[in-house]
Amino acid sequence: QQSLLISSPITLPFLRKGRSAPNSIHLPSTIRMCNGSQLRTVSLDEVPPNALRRKCDPNWRGGFSLGVDLGMSRTGLALSKGFSIRPLTVLELRGQKLELRLLEIAQRQEVDEFIIGLPKSNDGKETPQSNKVRSIAGRLAVRAAERGWRVYLQDEHGTSTEAMGLMIEMGLSKSARKGRIDAYAAMMVLERYFALSGQETELVLPKQLELQEKLRRSPPSDEDFFPEVFDG
């Protein structure tokens, strides 16, 4: 179960305030693998994150986004549909049990994409924990693609600090903060993802061509979803 990471920032620059998202964005058409073979890549036109879809088409209806903050022993989750984001739960699972539980929650909550926080240092470089997160994201991407769901990585630097500040501002007790910090950190990951319209994410692309084809198909429309008006 191998996966291929395609980074969107190389072709999707940060949008400055006042600028609208481009309607058409393309990645290179092929990637040369280490064995010399070539694999056609998907473009963000074909597999865009929900936030970018809504930026380009405010009337687009789609599924939920599940924010994931992966820790050494605890994983925080947050949920969003449109731009209403809330902390969901904290899991104390690892390995395959964690991956299967994430899929179960996604199914129950009508999620069609995972936004996983990627740890980075103060200077923007990846850390040893980043490799562990990439490994988990790669395995999850294969299982998710079998269901037509997508996995993206989002820089999570500073989100735990932001989450703690928010909980203190909300007046949560020290014990309450300790139990919820991971879920609130996942919420901060989702807030950053939507603030940037999904344009600084990495798509985690399964290597199997048949799974890539599933991802190229448009996510199903959610007829019960009426997106909220969002300024910002």
Give the pLDDT of residue 162: 87
What pLDDT sits at residue 45? Answer: 67
The single residue listed with the structure tokens 């009426």 is 226
- What pLDDT is recorded for position 184? 94
The reported pLDDT for the residue numbered 167 is: 85
Q: What is the pTM of this model?
A: 0.77
Domains and CATH numbers, the chain: 3-11+24-216 (3.30.420.140)
Q: In the prediction, which pLDDT does 82 show?
A: 61
CA distance 189 to 183: 10
pLDDT of residue 91: 97
- Give the angle subtended at the CA of 146 by the CAs of 77 and 66, to the nearest 5°: 15
For the chain, 232 residues long, the average pLDDT of each consecutive 10-residue run is: 43 36 37 41 74 84 90 94 86 95 96 96 91 96 94 91 87 88 94 92 90 76 44 34
pLDDT of residue 44: 58
In the chain the beta strands, taken as DSSP E runs, fall at 3-7, 30-32, 38-40, 64-70, 75-81, 84-91, 111-118, 150-155, 201-206
